[in-house]
Chain A
Amino acid sequence: MTDRGGVLEIWGYRELIGRLVQRELGSRYKRSVLGWLWSMLNPAATLAIYALVFGVLLKFDPPRAGNGRFDNFALYLFCALVMWNAFYGVITGAMSALLDLGSLLGKVYFPPEAPAVAALLTVLFQAAIEASILMLILICLVNVSWTFLLWPVLLLFLAIFALGIGLVLSVWNVRYRDVGYLSTIVLQFLFYVTPIVYPLSLIPERAMGLPVRDIIRLNPLSQFTEASRELLYGLDWPGVLRLGLMALISLAVGAGGWLMFKVRTRDIAEEL
């Protein structure tokens, strides 16, 4: 066997990964009348609900858009929500993919990260659809700049970051199913301590004697959602320092998670 366990090996199994992605996408909206429309209706509905609750009822105020001609809470929200959806999708996808395909690992050999990589690609596909719609709307509103081109890079960083976490959680979840339940709760909490449905400026500097705004700002996920808003809505760029920092964090988390996964999955065929 050539290079068992290396990155090259995953490339060698691209056929399998491609098939898994195809299967996931193909089976997703089977037996539904609207079919593929759901992949747009779903995020649209979520967006509408949040926009209604937080923008209309609670009257959260979005900043002005980059072209200075309008402000729109739904679009401001959407920029961050795309990032969150990708993050959430990769983590939950990696966990369920390993459980789902794990039984095969006891019968044939393939790299155990293949299901997670397939889940990642599926999520990126979905994110690309969502982002395209968002960008299209923004272009129609003449809110467009070269910063759009940086956005895919940001998504890539986020994907690596999420994959690192997803890999670790997925392998723990095989052993302790509690991880799956627990992570749902943690993710829910994370959703609200990340500036997605609200602008960061809405958070008080200090609460309960803690510098809450800084704490939320330091949450790596906040960096991604804020940067996404800056790039698409604010037409501003986060600067080399912040982008570099995000790259560093995502690579560290991605590599760390992958290494931990490697060690943990050496005997995974026996556990599934």
Chain B
Amino acid sequence: MGENAVVVEGVSKRFRLTLDRPLSLKEAWTGLRPGSGRSFRRVRSEPFWALRDISLEVPRGSMYGLVGRNGSGKSTLLRVMAGIYRPTEGRVEANGRTSALLELGAGFHPALSGRENIYLNASVLGVPKSQIDDRVEQIVEFAGLEEFIDSPVKIYSSGMYVRLGFAVAVHVDPEILIVDEVVAVGDEEFQLRCFSHLESLRSQGVTIVLVSHDLGMLRANCDQMAWLNRGLLAAVGDPQDVVNAYLDTIDTEGAASVGHRPRSDTEGETPLRITNLEFFDGAGHRPKSFASGDPLVVRIHYSASEPVEDPVFSLGFYDHNNLHLAGPRSHVDGFRPGKVDGEGWVEFRLLRIPFRSGAFHVNAAVQDSDASFLYDRRAREFWLQISGEPDPQANGLLNLEGDWRAGV
């Protein structure tokens, strides 16, 4: 047993696209399949490389995040790690009992009841019956399925499936837990419980490999991350770096279509730089996280190497999925800083934070007085953490402070 729970070495995975797979003995025998019209063409399989030369190490007891777009090979990699797929090339070593939650209802048999499936799943994972007997009630309670546990799982809703699958997967004492993005199917309250449970499992030394599109959550919780892009490992290591690198490509690809200049353009000589961004609460402190509805002050520190007349400062608020939520700009709001020179700061004050809980990143930019030339821009370096239990009654990203009236 080494330091690493999972070692992936030079793994490639090739699929044969099943479109051309011969489906009957006759076709297999003759190797022919009726094509269009009168001609026949050879049945051949197109190779498709879902993973190419992936190497990574998941340290024991860590939480490891995987990001990537749909179809980038994340799920295939998880399956290879879980031993379900055999790598075409390379080697995978998993040191410890692996429990995987890869799809809705990890490995449920639709005709069996929830309870029977708990036992079936546990036995698939090699957990003795006696051990599960003690856990069944815990699992049922965690999944919140007391009323339905003796009904066949085919009548379950997708949320019930996921809850039961997750509950089983985490209650069988795995040493390595592999979780695909399925958890996202559950409601917010269940997701919170899942993550707090994952957190407690990790503190017990369980290694967790996680796929999610929730970049804020991954960034906040993972020890290491990897980004898969079209089957290739695009970045691996520190979560902050990986998330930034991942968002950068989305940004550049997205920006290219809109005509924005990517961030790297401002690297070089510029008379005015943004040196830092700070978040203060109403009392002038800098807390680690803010509560929704609190006052917020964003201070933009700058450094000018020559005098600049009336620069335009702007901020951009984004959620963890890079959705642009707000973009206050100083000249639009009627603020003119006058001539700036040397070091200084400008502040943007917010009476009440409208964002509900989560991680938000704040970009800052500075332009010349008619906002035609970009001096400097800092993107995705500064994260604003809004904490607090989200009100289960409310939903959406923002609190809109409106009021309701009735009329006839």
Contacts and interface: CB of A to CB of B under 8 A. Distances in A.
Contacts of A107: 84, 100, 102-103, 106-107
Contacts of B154: none
Contact of A178 (B18, B25, B109, B128): B25
Interface in B105-135: 106-107, 109, 111-112, 116, 119-129
A63 B33 CA distance: 55
Contacts of B126: 12-13, 15-16
For chain A, give the interface size range: 20 to 34
A59 B318 CA distance: 89
Contacts of B107: 104, 107-108
A108 B123 contact: no
Query: Max chain B CB contacts within 10 Å: which of A23, A177, A270?
Result: A270
A1 B94 contact: yes
A269 B23 contact: no
A242 interface: no
A247 B230 CA distance: 53
A105 interface: yes
A108 B129 contact: no
A18 B348 CA distance: 67
Given A1-B83, A104-B107, A176-B23, A15 B123 contact: yes
B85 interface: yes
A31 interface: no
B170 to A, nearest CB: 14
Nearest to B125: A108
A178 B25 CA distance: 7
A108 B85 contact: no
Contacts of A23: 112, 116, 120
B79 interface: yes
Nearest to A15: B123
Nearest to A108: B107
Query: Max chain A CB contacts within 10 Å: which of B21, B23, B124?
Result: B124
A108 B100 CA distance: 7
B24 interface: yes
A176 B15 CA distance: 19
Q: Is the interface of A mostly helix, strand, loop or mixed?
A: helix
Contact of B83 (A16, A18, A104, A109): A109
Given A15-B128, A16-B124, A108 B23 contact: no
B120 A269 contact: no
Contacts of B22: 176
Interface residues of B, number: 36
Contacts of A69: none
B86 interface: yes
Contacts of B83: 1, 4, 109
A49 to B, nearest CB: 31
Contact of B109 (A4, A16, A101, A270): A101
B82 interface: yes
A107 B125 CA distance: 11
A152 interface: no
B214 to A, nearest CB: 22
Nearest to B79: A269
Contact of A105 (B21, B84, B94, B121): B84
B340 to A, nearest CB: 60
B28 interface: yes
Contacts of B122: 15
A108 B112 contact: no
Interface in A1-39: 1, 4, 12-13, 15-16, 18-19, 23, 27
Given A23-B116, A176-B24, A270-B15, A104 B124 contact: yes
Contacts of A1: 83, 94
A271 B45 CA distance: 14
A163 to B, nearest CB: 21
Query: Max chain A CB contacts within 10 Å: which of B83, B106, B109, B123?
Result: B123
Nearest to B112: A23
Nearest to B21: A175
B209 to A, nearest CB: 15
A110 B122 CA distance: 11
Interface of A: 1, 4, 12-13, 15-16, 18-19, 23, 27, 101, 104-110, 175-179, 182, 266-267, 269-271
Top 5 nearest A-B pairs (CB, nearest first) are: A16-B123, A108-B107, A15-B123, A104-B107, A109-B83
8 contacts: A13-B123, A19-B119, A23-B112, A109-B100, A182-B25, A267-B85, A267-B86, A271-B18
Given A109-B98, A176-B22, 4 more contacts: A19-B123, A104-B109, A108-B121, A176-B23
